[in-house]
Structure formats: C-alpha cells, structure tokens
Amino acid sequence: MNIILITACPSGMATTFLAAKRLEQAAQRQGWSAHVEMHGEVAPLQAATAEQIANADLIVVAADHVPAPERFEGKRLFQAPIASALPDPSAFLAQAKREAPIYSAPAASTTSASTAANSAGGKKIVAVTACPTGVAHTFMAAEALAEAGKAMGHAIRVETQGSVGAQDKLTEEEIADADIVVLACDIDVDPSRFAGKRIYRTSTGNALKKPRPTLEAALSEAAIENGSSNVGTANKSVKEKGVYKHLLTGVSFMLPMVVAGGLLIALSFVFGIEAFEQEGTLAAALMQIGGGTAFALMIPVLAGYIAYSIADRPGIAPGMIGGMLAANIGSGFIGGILAGFLAGYVALAVTRYVKLPSSVESLKPILIIPLVASLVTGLTMIYVIGEPVAALLNALTSFLESMGSTNAVLLGILLGAMMCFDLGGPVNKAAYTFGVGLLASETYGPMAAIMAAGMVPAIGMGIASFVARNKFSAPEREAGKASFVLGLCFISEGAIPFAAKDPLRVIPACMVGGALTGALSMLVGAQLMAPHGGIFVLLIPNAITPVLLYLGAIVAGSLVTGLSYAFIKRDAAQVALAT
C-alpha cells in the first residue's frame, strides 16, 4: 500500500519531525510504502510529486489544515490534528485507512501557499537570529519566526548565526527580493549587506515568545537604515540598542576562549593538581595554552568586541589594548568591561565628530581613530580607573574565597534564582556573565552554581512531563523529552515552551529548584573550570569537583522543580480524536 504522510505543527518545536518519524515507522511495520512531507524547519520540505500522489492509495495529513489541497482532489484523504497522531501512530494509521473519504478541495483554498504569499498581500521576508551563546535561542527563534511567517501567508527565510557560524545563509538574490529584513539579534551583526532595505530590529526572546506580533510590528514599523551606522532605532528597546547588547556581544566572542581555556586547564590537572609546575611536561604545555594564553586573551577579547559593537571595526584595536591593560593592572573583567565601553564610545565620537579634509579622511579608520581612542583609553585605565577597579576586584575575590557557608549559600540562592527567572533573558545573562568573568580571577565556585542551576528548569520540565503524564498533552510530553536532554546540555531554553503556556506556575517552580541547586553547589564547594557543556563536561577529568556532590545538587533541584510543577499543574485539556 502506497501512502503519503504529511505533518505540520503551527508552533514548531520539532513536533512536526517527531510525528513524521513515528508515523513513518508505524507504516513500515505494516509493510506500507510511505513518502513523508514535513512542513517545518527541522528538515527540508520534500513535497510529494504528481506521480507519487497519483500512485498513492491513501493521503494521511496530521495537521490543522491540508497544505496545497488542490493536489489531492479525488484521492482518499484522512486529516486530524497532529496531537492525535503522537500517542499511538499505528492506531492513527489504522483509523486513517478505515475512515478516509474521497477528498474534495475547498473552493476557497485552491491556491498554493506560494501563490497566496504573492497575490493575497503576502510579503517576502528575510530574517537573521543570533543570541549571545548561539546555542538555543538562535535556532528556536528562527523556527518560531518561520512557522509564524508561513501561517500568516508570507514567504520567509531565516538565517541563524549560532556558535558554529552562519547557517542557511541568505543569498544576495533573496535579500534583494525581500520586502523587509527582521534582525532578531541580541548581539551585533553586520547590517551592511541589508543596505537600502527596510529593517526591523528586535531580540531573539521577542521573536521566540511572540513571533506573530513581531512580524506584524516588522511589517508596519521597519525602516531603511544607514548602512554605516545603526540608525533607525525607533523600533528598538533600550536593552537592544544600549549597553546590554554591547556587553553580550563581547561575552559571545569571549565565550569560546573561556571554554577552551578552562577545559585545557582541567586536562592539565589530569596529571596531578601541581603537575604543570614541572617545566617541559605535557601538563605544563596544557596549562600554558589554557591558562597562560586562552585565559590571558579573555579580557582583551571581551573589551575589544564590546568596543566593536559600539564603534564597528575601528573600536577593536583600542578595545583590545584597553582590555590587555585591564588584565595587566589586575582590574580583571570589570576593568575589561569599562575599557571596552570607553574605547568604543571614544572611537565612535572620533568617527562622528572629528572632521578632516577629504584628502586625509581615509586615514581616520587606520590611523586617527586607533591612535586617539587607544591613547585616551590607555591613559584613563592607567591613571584613573585601573587601580581602583583592581582594588575592588581583589576585595570581591577575597570575599568570595573567604566567605563562610552561610554567605556561600545565600550567594548560591541568588545566582540560582537569577538563572531560572527568565530562561536565557537579561537576568539570566547577568548572572552568567558574572560567573564567567570570575574565571579570569581563578574563582570557580560561582560558575559551578550558575551552570548547575541553569540546567534545572529544562530537566525539571522533563521530569514533570514524565511523572504527571496525565496532566500533559501528547505534544507536551514529547517536548518534555527534548527539554530533559536540553537541560543536560545546560540549555535552560528547553523549558521555554512550558513557561510560555503556564508562566505563573513554571517560573516559580524553576526558581525554587534553581535556588536550591545553587545553594547546595556553593555549600559543597563545587568548582567548575568550563562555563558551558552541562553534564557532558564530566567527561573531562577534574573539570568539575567534587563530581558526586555536584551531581547531587543538580538532581535535588531538578526533582524539586519537576515534582512541584507536576503537583501544581492543572490537568491538560483532552484532545478530541477525529472520527
């Protein structure tokens, strides 16, 4: 028996892919030949050909609507919501075979999606998503925008600029043909290729949580920007156009340096905690690469890319110089942040307000701006803010190292609750940046508490969806499985689908569990060398110490979050099966 399986979920979140795979496996078990057509962002669309449709004995649609329905005129077609297919795909297919009627396409729906996008007011939209770590928000926001755009009848293409670079990169032709450009970015991205296009800027959080309102606002508010600067800021919040974005840009570029350096230092400890002191050994070489080089570059890279976010390329040199001075003076990440902002705004001021004859104007970016901005930043760091900030950082480090168990627990509670408050938002990133910055001062305790607490929300939602299965719909249970895995990887955003539906219960449950985990991590003196990777950092010996107590802290907080939410959650509405 030849069948065509079509799956589509309006909210995305991989349900389209999961339903397609489960239905395909169920069809294969029955000996059926199936072509799968998935309408989502997880896998490319492979639309059924006219020949495949002609040879099909049955069309099975697990979606709220039939895509391009005119294709199936006169065929046996069964349609039901995608949630109906997930609990028992074999029974779903049996019902489809038994009950599918001869299909007649609605008269009002005889135009394809692409035709609708072109003739019924649909627009051509291109978008870019980018978050500081480039792991979760980047791709989830891209999927949400793509699904919302299709549902609204627009032709949309989304480029993700994640931790592995640009994926699904927009072509010059696609940009040229686009009616508007949506930049859902928490870090600075190069806007020059969109010069002359109407641009709308927002955050990845807005795009993820409110994709349809985001696109509606983009269609009405997008404006042409000057390619040389980030003007057209009427549609940007203070957070998106101010210090928050500049700081996160610096952190995003610094993060790979911190992760690599921390893991290399941990590898040197495999040979013994003090083995690196023996010159010429492999342990000494690993420490030199990780601690002597990668960690030494942390603060200059942080400062340089903060300045880059503010003043573009002319800010990089003075920013890195100021960051290196901050590191040498001992003012650490606080000094590096101040140096980055100082260098960036000085470079920006020179760019905008220093007017030169046209014959020497070309020297500004390579001579005048680096010289003036580096001189101002360097002298200010040396004579004004460097020493006071160094003293402040030393006092902070001494306090963290000498604080008693009560203060440690209180700090862990605070950091843990912050990590779970907005699941990757500004408060979460503030706590994370604090922990990463302290790594340069060889203070590893807060970072351990931060990563442990950040794993709790997503793991907790996975636990809740398993413990109280009757309170969750089938798609929510599938999302719970994905959330559990994301939590193990230290991706708090796995809990966002649950928080978006039930924030008044999910967020408090996550914060309680995260606060407990943070407190326990600080109480047992856990230390973490690398600021990302989740449970898989355990594969590196000595990257986390003590291992068992650290795992216990994560398990305790996750159980508190999962069980408490399972208890307070309301029962799920029953999904009616198609008859």
Active site residue 420: no
Q: Which of 9, 185, 420, 510 is catalytic?
A: 9
The residue written with tokens 């340069």 in the block is: 440
| Angle formed at CA 304 by CA 299 and CA 305, multiple of 5 degrees | 105
Length of the chain in terms of residues written: 579
Q: Which helix (H) or strand (E) holds 545?
A: strand 544-545
Active site residue 510: no
Question: Phi and psi at residue 73, in whole multiples of 5°?
Answer: -55, 125
Give the closest residue to 34 by CA, choosing from 93, 74, 87: 93
Give the closest residue to 257 by CA, choosing from 440, 386, 410, 398: 440
CA end-to-end span of the chain: 22
CA 569 – CA 172 distance, rounded (Å):
48
- Backbone angle region of 14, left / alpha / beta, with phi > 0 → left and psi within -120 to 50 → alpha: left
Q: Are 102 and 126 within 8 A, CB to CB?
A: no
What does the buried/exposed string (b/e) look like for 175-212 if buried means 16 or more CB atoms within 10 Å of the residue's CB? beebbbbbbbbbbbbebeebeebbbbbbbbbbbbbbbe
Strand order in the sheet with 77-80: 33-39, 2-8, 58-62, 77-80
Give the closest residue to 201 by CA, choosing from 228, 177, 175, 225: 225
What is the number of alpha carbons within 13 Å of residue 549 lying toward its C-beta?
A: 15
Question: Phi and psi at residue 525, in whole multiples of 5°?
Answer: 75, 30
Q: Which of 131, 185, 420, 510 is catalytic?
A: 131
Strand order in the sheet with 165-167: 165-167, 155-162, 124-130, 180-185, 198-202, 223-224
CA 425 – CA 428 distance, rounded (Å):
5
Tokens of 109: 């729906």
What is the number of alpha carbons within 13 Å of residue 91 lying toward its C-beta?
A: 8
Q: Which helix (H) or strand (E) holds 37?
A: strand 33-39
Q: Are 321 and 376 within 8 A, CB to CB?
A: no
C-beta contacts of 547-553 below 8 A and 24+ residues apart: 549/520, 549/524, 550/448, 550/452, 550/521, 550/524, 550/526, 552/520, 553/452, 553/516, 553/517, 553/520, 553/521, 553/524, 553/526
DSSP 500-515: HH-HHHHHHHHHHHHH
Peptide bond into 546 cis (omega under 30): yes
Tokens of 562: 């999962």
CA 245 – CA 338 distance, rounded (Å):
15
Active-site residue list? 9, 131
